[in-house]
Structure 1
Amino acid sequence: MSDIKIRAKSKNGVTTVKCLMSHPMETGLRKDSKSGELIPAHFIQEVVCKAKGEVVMTASWSGGVSKNPYLSFKFAGGAEGDPVEITWTDNRGQTQSATTTISS
């Protein structure tokens, strides 16, 4: 169903993480063009990033985020070869995770 693409680069002691998450991100307010019925809400509620097993970023989202969201953030630390993991959980209890290693 979904896919996460991650890149993490470290420079001068700061790691920049960029990721693209495939998800429909339905608000629950949009109507189906054929049936006229509301499309049920289906959106990412929480995104967590861990570096070497420690949480470095947490985001709480709602239906106001666009389809296939892009996320970019920085954190202090991280070295080349360290693992970075992104995990999201949506309002239906589904989760998706992906891991990469930091490059320089």
Structure 2
Amino acid sequence: MADPMRIRAALAGDETTVRVLMSHPMEAGTRKDAAGATIPAHYIQDVEATSNGKTVLKAMFSGAVSQNPFLSFKFKGAAKGDKVVVKWVDNKGETRTDEVAIA
């Protein structure tokens, strides 16, 4: 399983800013190793963020996204102490889910 995501969520006025650093190799499947063999693709495909059970972000990634991707987004309708849950699924079916309370 991948390392935990680093998530920060801060409320300013009526808008919550979320910053997420995901730990993932994000291998596109086009590079070759030292022996000349192609390194298989392994990248995050779907990302979903929820707050209070409501989806606030859905994103689709591809192999074109860099290793350990950083994602930042804003949404309205949350309060301090509410949880933000971020989940990703990669092309090999592996998943990671982490959460943080809004500060």
Under TM normalisation by the shorter chain, which class is it?
Answer: over 0.9
What's the TM-score once normalised by structure 2's chain length? 0.97
Residue identity opposite 1:25 in structure 2: M
Percent of counterpart pairs with the same letter? 50
Equivalent residue number for residue 98 of structure 1: 98
Q: Deviations over 1:32-66 (max 9, x none)?
A: 0x211000000000000000111000000100000
Q: How does 1:29-40 map to 2 (within 5 A)?
A: 29-32=30-33, 34-40=34-40
- State the number of aligned residues: 102
Equivalent residue number for residue 11 of structure 1: 12
Q: Distance in 1 between matches of 2:16 and 2:6?
A: 16
Q: Distance in 2 between matches of 1:4 and 1:39?
A: 24
What's the TM-score once normalised by structure 1's chain length? 0.96
Equivalent residue number for residue 24 of structure 1: 25
Moved over 3 A (4+): none
Equivalent residue number for residue 51 of structure 1: 51
Equivalent residue number for residue 64 of structure 2: 64
Equivalent residue number for residue 81 of structure 1: 81
Q: Distance in 1 between matches of 2:88 and 2:55?
A: 13
Which 5+ residue runs of structure 1 have no aligned equivalent? none
Which 5+ residue runs of structure 2 have no aligned equivalent? none
Aligned residue for 1:81, secondary structure, equals coil
Q: Give the C-alpha shift of residue 77 in structure 1.
A: 1.6
